[in-house]
Chain A
């Protein structure tokens, strides 16, 4: 069975603060994929990043960075110098061979960035 936990239901910050969204996953497979998606207030779901289980390198894309640690089964997402446009619900997802690689999503973290 696979499971994704996003323990933070809602985070509220002031613009320019750094914020980290946590994602903890459970899997018995050695081959799996992790994802982050963004859902802005308009409602669409937008893909942000994909990481496979064999690549633990951290990734940075502009103000966004991701920290993948297999030792703690975590795939955390940090936004540096947050902006109002970052306000959205962020979902972490896992797909693994034991689940036919069908993605399972966490419940999401709602990020509110105040001006």
Chain B
């Protein structure tokens, strides 16, 4: 099993550009999450999903959108990138509520 995979690993965007961060898991987990990690700030939840077709906002959803058309995929869309979105983005999944999360390797995004 590959677990949770994320692409790309690194990306540099110009202000105002858009992009999609891809996340795929092969563990048949219903729960998937997107976090951003800023230095010294821990992990902040952007969006999460409890199953295909169901998504909900986390703590810092502004400037992002998600979709969940399949169990495996949970892409994160950035529209009109801003320097404040410079961060490391982690996708995670879990089999059920209260269980541990499995994390992808992260995407380091820089917006200039």
Contacts and interface: CB of A to CB of B under 8 A. Distances in A.
A52 B98 CA distance: 8
Interface residues of A, number: 22
Interface in A17-39: 33, 35, 37
Given A43-B106, A44-B106, A102-B48, A91 B97 contact: no
B101 A103 contact: yes
Contact of A107 (B40, B58, B100): B40
B100 A35 contact: yes
Contacts of B100: 35, 47, 50
Interface of A: 9, 33, 35, 37, 43-47, 50, 52, 91, 95, 100-108
A91 B42 contact: yes
A90 to B, nearest CB: 11
B82 interface: no
Return the 4 tightest CB-CB contacts between A and B, nearest first.
Answer: A101-B97, A45-B103, A107-B42, A105-B43
A43 B98 CA distance: 24
B97 A106 contact: no
Interface of B: 33, 35, 40-43, 45, 48, 58, 88, 90, 92, 97-103, 105-106
A43 to B, nearest CB: 6
B105 A47 contact: no
B89 to A, nearest CB: 12
